[in-house]
A and B are shown apart, each in its own frame.
Chain A
Amino acid sequence: MRPFTYERATSARDAAAKAARTGAKFIAGGTNLLDLMKLEIEAPAHLIDVNGLDFDKIEDIPGGGIRIGALVTNTALASHPRIRRDYGLISRAIVAGASGQIRNKATTAGNLLQRTRCPYFYDPNMPCNKRRPGSGCAAIGGFNRQLGVIGTSEACIATFPSDMAVAMRALDASIETIKPDGSTRAIPIRDFHRLPGDTPHIENVLERGELITSVALPKPIGGTHIYHKVRDRASYAFALVSIAAVIQKDGTGRVAVGGIAPKPWRVEAAEAEMPRGAKAVAAMLLDGARPTQHNQFKLTLVERTLGAVMAEARA
């Protein structure tokens, strides 16, 4: 690990201003950042610990929605009575990911900002445009059965690994931030993560120093909440494919997909096909997919997992 200086943030605005400087970075749960720092994939010169800030609450908001503080741990979020009752999709997605120890540390904002688990990103001996821009992509011609089939580019086929964010995408979450100048904004989750294009090292729309303070969920939409994750082992593994669905009694609903793209993948137009079945929805969701030889199975897996989810909702 490279040396770094460390300080504890005293206010959100102060933290944002300090983090705007080159080489500075926020740390909260640290479960992903520290791992990457050990490998020197991340090498901040200065860490700003935001754990002392007052963003660890879950509160009702006017209009019937809920606001989740950026520092709320994954365990606390999944366990919260109102999240379990009105936003079960979030609870189910969180407990489908990581391990108990990780969920006790990992935060809501950190979960949204985690980096890909592409093995070539993690191996400093391999070219990777995300880790070292312009060096090439070893994954495209390599062992890529875990990697992305849609939204990818010639420069990068990495996937975004979060489960929680897939549920938040289906529920139209909004990500609330503060900038170094003290101004605030709310970013719809659909616009938050960027597709790689030729700049795969830029993963979201946050500006330098901009700090996530909370995530807001609109008022509950009812329906049956199902998060179905398919993975190589039954627990503590990243998704090959995951489906976050909210399905209403009349068969209409929403679907977001994880494990296949550089961001939680949702195509609202495809949801109109739900009464016609999983095949029709998957065809539209995956229109434009560019799978590799090793991961084209994911196209079939999305359709079949969605079929299973829709059958479960009818049962």
Chain B
Amino acid sequence: MAVSTAPQLDAAELATASRPSEMPVSFEVNGKQRQLELDTRTTLLDALRDHLHLTGTKKGCDHGQCGACTVIVDGKRIYSCLTLAVMHEGGRVTTIEGLGTPDKLHPMQAAFVKHDGYQCGYCTPGQICSAVAMLDEIRAGVPSHVTPSLDQVPRITNMEMRERMSGNICRCGAYSNILEAMTEVAGGESA
């Protein structure tokens, strides 16, 4: 490693780097175009909660271990705490507020209510966003650790859903009710 001979950032760049740096970013959130001027350090999670005041998405561990911050970006579920807002220029973000409203619940939201898929409710927005995108992943043929054969498309089973939801922790232990809610939404597809 040729450390000593590496070109350096110039003095102006280093001075800039030691101060907070702001950047414009624009992306779509729940169908609405949003433009923000953000400190580059702002995670997507903090942009949603602190700048757009969409506080449905929760900060649990802030280290990608609990799943409370799960949102759907460009159709895929991700941890919003482990990505920078500026990395999503032109992206399309769906949060719990965009899935449904109290008057018009998303089927997964309605099923969580019906099956009591929570106790304290803190992990719930992440569980619901994760569950919605998880069913899409099975339908798209994404394999999982418990998929019996890579030659066959995975089926929506209890085992598949449990394995695929392991990135969402529920301290209250509502897992069995969450599973019932997901099973109901999967409906006839469920094995």
Contacts and interface: CB of A to CB of B under 8 A. Distances in A.
Contacts of A23: 8-9, 14, 17
Q: Which of B62, B64, B163, B168 has the most CB of A within 10 A?
A: B64
Contacts of B115: none
A47 B3 CA distance: 18
Interface stretch (B74-82, B95-103, B173-181): B74-82
Nearest to B165: A100
Interface string A1-30: 101111010000000000011111001001
Nearest to B86: A6
Nearest to A8: B89
B183 interface: no
Nearest to A227: B145
B50 to A, nearest CB: 14
B124 interface: no
Contact of A88 (B16, B39, B67, B150): B150
B2 interface: yes
A84 B147 CA distance: 12
A34 B83 CA distance: 7
A1 B17 contact: no
B150 A1 contact: no
A270 interface: no
Interface string B145-169: 1010011000000000001111110
Contacts of A21: 6-9
Interface stretch (B28-36, B106-114, B134-142): B134-142
A81 to B, nearest CB: 9
A204 to B, nearest CB: 10
Contacts of A177: none
B43 interface: yes
B17 A3 contact: yes
A272 interface: no
Nearest to B20: A3
A4 B21 contact: yes
A91 B17 contact: no
Interface in A48-75: 49, 51, 75
Classify the secondary structure of B's interface with A: loop
A79 B41 contact: no
Interface residues of A, number: 45
Interface residues of B, number: 54
Contacts of B76: 75, 104
A101 B83 contact: no
Contacts of B145: 95-96, 235
Nearest to B16: A5
Contacts of B166: 99-100, 234-236
A106 to B, nearest CB: 9
B64 A84 contact: no
Interface string B116-135: 00000000000000100110
B173 to A, nearest CB: 15
B1 interface: yes
B142 to A, nearest CB: 5
A17 B106 CA distance: 48
Given A6-B84, A22-B9, A235-B145, 20 more contacts: A3-B41, A5-B16, A6-B21, A20-B6, A22-B6, A22-B8, A23-B14, A31-B79, A34-B43, A35-B82, A75-B76, A78-B143, A95-B143, A99-B167, A101-B67, A101-B78, A102-B79, A102-B82, A105-B83, A235-B163
7 contacts: A5-B17, A5-B40, A20-B7, A23-B17, A30-B83, A49-B87, A234-B163
Interface of A: 1, 3-6, 8, 20-24, 27, 30-31, 34-35, 38, 45-47, 49, 51, 75, 78-79, 84-85, 88, 91-92, 95-96, 98-102, 104-105, 202, 207-208, 234-236
